Amino acid sequence: MAIQPIAAVGREDGEEQQQSSLLAQSLKKQEESRISLTEMIRDAKEKADAQREKFKLAKTSPRYGDAPLEAYARLSRARTPAQAGSAAGYARRRIVQLEAARRSDPDHADQIKAAVGQLRKAVSRAGRKKLELTREQLSRARQKRMAQENKRREEQRIKQELRRSQAMRAVRESGYFRETDIANRFANQLTATKMELRAQAEQLGVSATKSVDAAVQEYSAAVETAAAVTAPVSMPQVDVQA
């Protein structure tokens, strides 16, 4: 008769251990679930912060490529030598401003370099257009004189040469915008790639910055080569003799 209480106690101990085990497993699962949820929340927050910074960077990124586009727009609108000279003056002022910006904004040095290069071309092209417009003014005066002297054939020849010169210049000036757009896109791509490489290096804790810089330089050389290959070829000129 004394054996039965001992068996009952053994069963109670077994049930208590089983319940403790189930409770421990339940607590473990709850803890794992809590950790998993915490990690998910942290990952979501990090992604949101990264996306916010990305949009902030895109929103505040300076548009250095707009300067040469504006210079070429002024040059395209120029109808007199004085207006062409004014477009050249604008380009020179922007070159000075961008050279100063290059020292204070090294992260966008490639974009600034591309803009300055196009602005220097704009100054040279404005000088050429100034000469062309001066020749055209002389040609119009000569055309008017031929009309007064009833020299119709010579008048028509001068008129045709003027139209051809203006048409060729319009085609050439439209090429300036395409060339600038290509230069801007390559510079933007190069800047974005450099920033991405540096960000990846920082995230991975890479201390060998020389290898990163070497990769950036290699990519820069490839981009510049591609830009040179895809640059539009200058249109031939038709000189109008005064």
With bands split at pLDDT 50, 70 and 90, how would you rate the model's confidence at 124? very high
Task: Output the CA–CA distances (angstroms, integers) from residue 14 to 3, 5, 21, 23, 224, in the order listed.
Answer: 17, 14, 11, 14, 78
Is 150 within a domain?
A: yes
In a domain? residue 241: no
Distance from chain centroid for Cα 214: 21
Domain membership of residue 106 (yes or no) is: yes
What is the value of pTM for the model shown? 0.60
Q: Which domain holds residue 147?
A: 63-230
Give the 3-state secondary structure of residue 151: coil
Number of folded domains in the chain? 1
Specify the pLDDT at position 241: 36
21-29, long-range: CB < 8 A, 24+ apart? none
Query: Over 90: is that where the pLDDT of 239 sits?
Result: no
Is 205 contained in some domain? yes
Q: Does residue 132 form part of some domain?
A: yes
Average pLDDT, the chain: 78
Residue 103 resides in a domain = yes
Cα(74)–Cα(68) distance, integer angstroms: 10
Residue 238 lies in a domain: no
88, burial (CB in 10 Å: exposed 0-12, middle 13-18, buried 19+)? buried
Check pLDDT > 90 for residue 88: yes
Query: Could you tell me which residue, 186 or 50, shows the higher pLDDT?
Result: 186
